[in-house]
Amino acid sequence: MEYEIAGWLSVIFRFVHVIASIMWIGNSILFTWMELNLIAPKAGDENTDKDLLGQLDMLHGGGVFHLQKRVINPGAIPAPLHWFMWQSYTTWITGTLLLISVFYINGGAPLLDSSKSALTGWGAIGMSVGGIIAWWLVYDTIWRSKLKEVPALAVLLSFALLMTATVYFNQYFNGRAVFLQVGVMLGSAMTANVFVHIIRNQKKFMKALLAGKPHDLKYGKQAKTRSMHNHYMTFPVLFMMLSAHFPQLISADWLSPILGVIIVSLMLVKFFMNSRYYFGGWLVAIFIVFLIACGLIKVFLIMPASTSDVGLTDVQKGAKLFVAQGCAVCHQVGSSQLAPNLDKLYNSTVQLADGGTVVADEAYLRESIERPQAKVVKGYPASMPPVSLTKEQLDNLIAYLKSR
């Protein structure tokens, strides 16, 4: 029942989450684009409108949007004035609900990897929540400190600390959960940027304007730095959120360096996309970044594992295979949406599509994996693909399934 309710809720949360994040990221990209394309008034122009910061014309929907970015005069505050924050808040709220209904369910079991550690569930939830809060505090402190005057150093330090967190979580969490945890840490910091810096700074100068004071551009500048951080985090965070679709990467042994390459290369891609108005070689640069990133990831994928299977029990080897063979993509822990939930399957009675029942003994498990179409579970399409496994791998997988 717990799984059933969680399944329904996760459909609703996921859908709203996807829509809200598309709206938020779409805005981030469009606003940055407008910022880059604003034409500033030329110095010495006759009749220069002194409040004009820049302007821009855009063709869309059968007309021209003539857009101006202006300093606001206390006596002439435009109304209605549109604020942008709810896409971000909605993304974060539904994302958090999704995190709870998919990963924190069942005492956090879906976060863990029994081949890595014997941590119990609640500890995992504590680590995950702690990581999200700690990352915001660390990141925000760095970018409030004097270090922000040397951006390259602040970026390097932030990145090094993020990588340290990745290595730490990788000691306890399964690959999918590591990618997601880092994505949630960055995504939560993005919403906190909106809440703590962007909106609050905008409120400050709006309050001053209402009190009749002039528009202080200082606040806008502070808000803009955090907007740019958010802008550069969008591509990596999107990748991490979608990482369940890339089983090869999330099951890799060298997970942290791969994640590092992905984060850096996607930020560089965004950087070169933004440089296209003044840098002719931007497309070539993106292509080079792409090739180098793929090359590095390939090297990490074929590099011998840092931890070998020696010393692992059959159940632990099976748990690793379950992720590496892509089983976990459909049979997601704690969810029975795409494929049956395999928890406590062993020796239970399974309803079949043809109306019969079968006891899930070892022979049934073996047959389900070797010839998935032989007996199809009621309520599911016969969509499980056959896999080629060695006898030992099959034995390990079965040992693992029996242990769940």
Residue 74: CB atoms within 10 A of its CB come to 13
Any contact of residue 331 with ligand HEC (CB under 6 A)?
Answer: yes
Residue 59: CB atoms within 10 A of its CB come to 8
Is-contact 185 259, C-beta < 8 A? no
Q: How far is the CB of 404 from ligand HEC (least distance, A)?
A: 10
- Cβ-count burial 375-396 (b if 16+ within 10 Å, e if not): bbbeeeeeebeeeeeeeebbbb
Of 25 and 384, nearer to ligand HEC (C-beta) is 384
Q: Which residues contact 66 (CB under 8 A, 6 or more apart)?
A: 55, 56, 57
Any contact of residue 384 with ligand HEC (CB under 6 A)?
Answer: yes
Any contact of residue 329 with ligand HEC (CB under 6 A)?
Answer: yes
What are residue 69's DSSP bridge partners?
Answer: 54
Instruction: Let me know if 4 is exposed, middle or buried by CB neighbors in 10 A (0-12, 13-18, 19+).
Output: exposed
- Relative to beta strand 52-60, strand 63-70 is antiparallel
Q: How far is the CB of 258 from ligand HEC (least distance, A)?
A: 21
Find the binder of ligand HEC among 273, 312, 380, 402 (CB under 6 A): 380
- Rounded distance between C-alpha atoms, residue 53 and residue 49, angstroms: 9
- Cβ-count burial 214-223 (b if 16+ within 10 Å, e if not): ebeeebbebb
H and E: helices and strands count for the chain: 15, 4
Of 266 and 377, nearer to ligand HEC (C-beta) is 377
Is-contact 243 332, C-beta < 8 A? no
Of 297 and 321, nearer to ligand HEC (C-beta) is 321
Any contact of residue 127 with ligand HEC (CB under 6 A)?
Answer: no
DSSP state of 39: B
Is-contact 92 188, C-beta < 8 A? yes
Find the binder of ligand HEC among 105, 240, 323, 339 (CB under 6 A): 339
Q: How far is the CB of 31 from ligand HEC (least distance, A)?
A: 39
Find the binder of ligand HEC among 387, 399, 403, 404 (CB under 6 A): 387
**Count of residues that interact with ligand HEC, criterion CB under 6 A:** 27
Of 214 and 381, nearer to ligand HEC (C-beta) is 381
Find the binder of ligand HEC among 208, 376, 399, 403 (CB under 6 A): 376
User: What residues numbered 340-369 form the site for ligand HEC, per CB under 6 A?
Assistant: 340, 342, 345, 350, 360, 365, 368-369
Which tokens sit at 247? 């089983």
Which tokens sit at 181? 């945890």
Of 181 and 368, nearer to ligand HEC (C-beta) is 368
Of 200 and 378, nearer to ligand HEC (C-beta) is 378
Any contact of residue 385 with ligand HEC (CB under 6 A)?
Answer: yes
Q: Which stretch binds ligand HEC (CB under 6 A): 44-52, 220-228, 308-316, 381-389?
A: 381-389
Sequence-distant contacts of 66-69: CB under 8 A, at least 24 apart? 67/34, 69/34, 69/38
Any contact of residue 382 with ligand HEC (CB under 6 A)?
Answer: yes
Find the binder of ligand HEC among 327, 333, 334, 396 (CB under 6 A): 327
Any contact of residue 323 with ligand HEC (CB under 6 A)?
Answer: no
Of 313 and 341, nearer to ligand HEC (C-beta) is 341
Any contact of residue 326 with ligand HEC (CB under 6 A)?
Answer: yes
- Rounded distance between C-alpha atoms, residue 327 and residue 339, angstroms: 10
Any contact of residue 372 with ligand HEC (CB under 6 A)?
Answer: yes
Of 76 and 359, nearer to ligand HEC (C-beta) is 359
Q: Which residues contact 91 (CB under 8 A, 6 or more apart)?
A: 17, 20, 21, 24, 187, 191
Any contact of residue 54 with ligand HEC (CB under 6 A)?
Answer: no
Q: How far is the CB of 373 from ligand HEC (least distance, A)?
A: 6
Is-contact 365 398, C-beta < 8 A? yes
Residue 262: CB atoms within 10 A of its CB come to 22
**Residues of the shown chain interacting with ligand HEC in the complex, contacts defined by CB under 6 A:** 325-327, 329-331, 339-340, 342, 345, 350, 360, 365, 368-369, 372, 376-377, 380-385, 387, 397, 401
